Structure 1
Amino acid sequence: MATNVSEKDKTLNELIEWLNEEWNKTNHESDNPDKEILEKYNFYDGMTSSYELVIGKCRAMLGYSGSMPSEVPNQSEDAK
């Protein structure tokens, strides 16, 4: 199970890194004075908001996502 969680976290961290890069590019585009048209600003503002939401969701998914059992049955060979 630890391998699956580790692989999931690795994938999520790669996705978060890519989303952060895209957010930075989009945020930079929205600050560009050559793009003063309101529709384009709204587009870039929406894009950065979308990236932020997905980054937050990925961060929330990091680590173990299930509930841990409060009691584990005895699994020793001596138990009957």
Structure 2
Amino acid sequence: MATNVTEKDKTLQEVIDWCTDLANELRDAPDGDFYTNINANNVKADTLAMVIRHCRHLLGYSGSMPSEMPNQSEDANARTVNR
């Protein structure tokens, strides 16, 4: 399970890359029986495209909290230095 946004985004990008490669393989596969294989492969590739779109939508999104929070320790250090 991803523990932070960066790790989650890395995992999502790995899924996107894998789905993209698999969809390309399906689309480039030999036709064989035109009416069976080409339709089945296109449906599978289109389904993978939907997964890719959903993963891209999730990139950087971690719920209701903003993805970047100011580093509170830096703020504390700045106040100490400015005194």
Give TM-score scaled by structure 1 length.
0.70
Residue in structure 2 matched with residue 18 of structure 1 by the alignment: 18
Which runs of 5 or more structure 2 residues have no equivalent in the other structure? 67-83
* Higher percent of residues as helix: 2
Q: Deviations over 1:6-34 (max 9, x none)?
A: 110000001101111101100101xx3x5
Residue in structure 2 matched with residue 56 of structure 1 by the alignment: 53
Q: Specify the SS of the correspondent of 1:65.
A: coil
Equivalent AA in structure 1 for residue 23 of structure 2 = W
Residue in structure 2 matched with residue 35 of structure 1 by the alignment: 32
Give the drift of 1:64.
Answer: 2.5
RMSD over aligned Cα, in angstroms? 1.8
Which runs of 5 or more structure 1 residues have no equivalent in the other structure? 70-80
- Aligned length, in residue pairs: 64
Equivalent AA in structure 2 for residue 26 of structure 1 = L
Give TM-score scaled by structure 2 length.
0.68
